[in-house]
Amino acid sequence: MSANDSQVGGDHYKQMGVQPWEAMEAWLSPAQFRGFLLGSAIAYLARVNTKGVDGKGGLQDIKKARHYLDKIIELEESNERTN
C-alpha cells in the first residue's frame, strides 16, 4: 500500500480532492519536497513526549512521523529505479 493510500489520525486529508503533500510535491522542487517530508517527520517526533497536551504526542505522533518517512522511502525507491 502506498503512503498516499493511508492516513494516521482521521481521514480529513483523504477526503480532499488533492492531498496536501501532493500539492506540495507539485509546487516544490524534488529537494524542497524531500525537505518538507523530513521536516514534517521531525516535527511529529519532537512532540512525542507531549502526550496529553491538546491530544498531541504519544504513539499517534510516532505513526504520523512514520507515515512521512514511508513517503520519503517511496520517493527514494522510485529514484533508485529510474537512475
Q: What is the pLDDT of residue 19?
A: 81
Give me the residue label for grid cell 510535491. Answer: 25
How much is the pTM? Answer: 0.74
SS3 for 56? strand
Give kind and range of the element (H or E) at residue 48. Answer: none
The separation between the first and the last C-alpha atoms of the chain, rounded to the nearest angstrom, is: 23
Give the tens place of pLDDT for each residue, 34-80. Answer: 999 999 999 999 999 987 767 788 888 999 999 999 999 999 999 88
d(CA 25, CA 31): 10
SS3 for 38? helix
